[in-house]
């Protein structure tokens, strides 16, 4: 469709989704380790609904979260990519970078490597002026990836996520920002 169909890094192929990705995606979304900083693990139907939303985002905007393939290791390790949040907050409209990988592939630098390629794509091909990222305050793994790719948090940007119920311990979120390099 567009240039956004595929990005290649040293170890990863970020590609459009295939039907066969849905089973490993559902397994990963049912894993309490992966979903520790979300409201709950997902059922197969909820996981498929996320995959449908990602496909619709690709169709509508020409980019979204890519499926992550690690050639020689696995055809599907999770997703990394760019998306437009579905809610309103003080920093929207914006483009967000995000990631979710199956636990067996954590701590190998894959999220950081794929995120760098997604950032490069966002700035160079989509011509974005800024990319943000957000997560629950306690998600230190994800925050570490944000820091490693050069994003910065200002405490004054912290916010209560409007899609998380009031009073829920995961409602408070941090926001990281990165301006387009000059």
Are 118 and 140 spatial neighbours (Cβ–Cβ below 8 Å)? no
Helix (H) or strand (E) holding 96: strand 96-101
Using CB under 6 A as the binding rule, whether residue 65 contacts ligand COA is answered as no
**Cα 30 versus chain centre, distance:** 17
Helix (H, G, I), strand (E, B) or coil at 4: helix
Using CB under 6 A as the binding rule, whether residue 108 contacts ligand COA is answered as yes
Using CB under 6 A as the binding rule, whether residue 99 contacts ligand COA is answered as yes
CA 161, CA 168: separation in Å to the nearest integer?
Answer: 10
Tokens of 66: 């890519």
Candidates 75, 91, 92, 106: give the one binding ligand COA (CB under 6 A): 106
Segment near ligand COA (CB under 6 A); pick from 41-49, 96-104, 117-125, 162-170: 96-104
Using CB under 6 A as the binding rule, whether residue 10 contacts ligand COA is answered as no
Segment near ligand COA (CB under 6 A); pick from 10-18, 124-132, 141-149, 164-172: 141-149
CA 174, CA 168: separation in Å to the nearest integer?
Answer: 15
Candidates 141, 153, 171, 177: give the one binding ligand COA (CB under 6 A): 141
Segment near ligand COA (CB under 6 A); pick from 44-52, 57-65, 68-76, 135-143: 135-143
Question: Residue 142: is it exposed, middle or buried by C-beta count within 10 angstroms (0-12/13-18/19+)?
Answer: buried
Tell the smallest beta-carbon distance from residue 179 to ligand COA (Å): 20
- Per CB under 6 A, residues contacting ligand COA are 34, 37, 98-101, 106-112, 135, 139-142, 144-145
């Amino acid at each position: 469709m567009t240039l956004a169909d595929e990005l290649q890094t040293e170890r990863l192929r970020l590609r459009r989704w295939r039907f066969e990705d849905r089973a490993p995606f559902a397994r990963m979304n049912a894993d309490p380790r992966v979903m520790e900083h979300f409201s709950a693990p997902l059922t197969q139907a909820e996981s498929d609904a996320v995959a449908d939303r990602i496909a619709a985002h690709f169709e509508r905007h020409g980019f979204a979260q890519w499926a992550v393939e690690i050639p020689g290791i696995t055809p599907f390790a999770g997703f990394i990519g760019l998306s437009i949040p579905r809610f309103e907050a003080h920093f929207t409209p914006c483009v967000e970078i995000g990631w979710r990988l199956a636990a067996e592939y954590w701590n190998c630098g894959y999220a950081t490597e794929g995120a760098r390629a997604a950032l490069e794509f966002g700035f160079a091909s989509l011509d974005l002026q800024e990319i943000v990222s957000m997560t629950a305050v306690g998600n230190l793994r994800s925050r570490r990836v944000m820091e490693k790719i050069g994003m910065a948090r200002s405490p004054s940007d912290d916010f209560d996520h409007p899609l998380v119920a009031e009073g829920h311990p995961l409602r408070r979120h941090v926001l990281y920002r990165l301006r387009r390099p000059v």
